[in-house]
């Protein structure tokens, strides 16, 4: 605080340094599908207020139609008591919905907190995202380890709306469907489980090296590459044509 003179009066002038907006959310939530598993990559701070509420609301929203959730905590810098309570409540909510939530890439500072309050046995934590996803694919691992009743199909496309359409289209006719929008995630899935068929969309955003690794990984697995017009054609026509192509390709494999 400084004092100055104006028209003979002493005036108190309060100087306030610019501060970060305290109401701004300091927690980012980047969500994507890795096969049957939903990965939420958290970044920033899980603390009392908007951050904790944001995470709670996001988990509630996911539970509308998803039951296998991984929280990637690798970019979380700080968790306060309220934030830790949010993680516990999120776990409870997922289990009440007959789902399962796992943690991965837990930073040393967060892991230390979990150890201090004896919560390491409450959370199923894994060293890497791939290990956490793989845990859901192990036989008898819970929510997403449903009985395999049909051929297993991996759909890879950068358009999440197309993936949602393919997922429901193929499930309705009995296929066991897994989806991914990233080549790197598709590679993870191919390392941890088997697929009878791959559906690959056009215009995938991946490095030449990553895509080449993916092509090597799918050697021996039937592949159907979707043309660039698939997403804009009549949905019924496109779907019927794709189902016929899939059936013919799988029958060709077993003939």
pLDDT in tens, 163-213: 999 999 999 999 999 999 999 999 999 999 999 999 999 878 778 888 888
For residue 255, name the pLDDT band (cuts at 50, 70, 90). Answer: low
Asked if the model's pLDDT at residue 126 lies above 70, the reply is yes
Q: CA gyration radius for the chain? A: 24
Tell me the average pLDDT of the chain: 85
For residue 223, name the pLDDT band (cuts at 50, 70, 90). Answer: very high
Q: Are 27 and 45 in contact (CB under 8 A)?
A: yes
CB atoms within 10 A of CB 8: 5
pLDDT of residue 198: 96
Q: Which one of 3.30.460.10, 1.10.1200.10, 3.10.129.10, 3.30.750.24 gives the CATH number of domain 27-137?
A: 3.30.750.24
Let me know if the fold of 27-137 is the same as that of 152-254. no
Please give the model's pTM, rounded to 2 decimal places: 0.82
Q: pLDDT of 149-168, one tens digit each?
A: 579 999 999 999 999 999 99
Contacts of 66 (CB under 8 A, 6+ apart): 38, 99
Over residues 64-69, the mean pLDDT reads: 94
Which has the closest alpha carbon to 246: 160, 176, 146?
A: 176
Asked if the model's pLDDT at residue 18 lies above 90, the reply is no
Tokens of 225: 């590459």
Which residue stretches of 146-203 are H helix? 160-172, 183-192
Domain covering 152-254, topology: Rossmann fold (3.40.50)
pLDDT of residue 146: 46
pLDDT of residue 131: 97
Contacts of 135 (CB under 8 A, 6+ apart): 102, 124, 126, 141
The domain spans of the chain are: 27-137, 152-254
The residue among 144 and 113 whose pLDDT is bigger is 113
Q: Are 204 and 229 in contact (CB under 8 A)?
A: no
How buried is 69 (Cβ within 10 angstroms: 0-12 exposed, 13-18 middle, 19+ buried)? buried
């Amino acid at each position: 605080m400084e004092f100055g003179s104006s028209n003979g009066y002493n005036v108190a002038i309060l100087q306030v340094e610019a501060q970060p907006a305290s109401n701004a959310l300091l927690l980012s939530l980047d969500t994507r599908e890795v096969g049957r598993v939903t990965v939420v990559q958290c970044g920033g701070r899980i603390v009392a207020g908007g951050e904790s509420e944001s995470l709670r609301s996001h988990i509630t929203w996911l539970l509308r139609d998803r039951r296998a959730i991984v929280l990637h905590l690798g970019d979380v810098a700080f968790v306060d008591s309220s934030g830790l309570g949010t993680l516990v409540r999120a776990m409870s909510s997922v289990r009440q919905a007959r789902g399962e939530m796992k943690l991965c890439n837990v930073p040393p500072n967060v892991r230390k907190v979990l150890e201090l309050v004896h919560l390491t046995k409450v959370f199923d934590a894994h060293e890497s995202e791939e290990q956490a996803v793989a845990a859901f694919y192990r036989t008898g691992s819970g929510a997403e380890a449903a009985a395999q009743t049909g051929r297993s199909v991996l759909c890879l496309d950068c358009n999440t709306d197309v993936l949602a359409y393919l997922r429901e289209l193929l499930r309705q006719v009995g296929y066991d469907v897994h989806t991914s929008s990233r080549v790197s995630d598709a590679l993870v899935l191919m390392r941890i489980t088997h697929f009878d068929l791959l559906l690959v969309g056009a215009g995938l955003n991946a490095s030449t090296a990553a895509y080449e690794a993916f092509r090597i990984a799918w050697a021996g697995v039937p592949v159907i590459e979707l043309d660039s017009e698939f997403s804009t054609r009549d949905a019924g026509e496109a779907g019927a044509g794709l189902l016929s192509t899939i059936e013919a390709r799988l029958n060709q494999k077993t003939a």
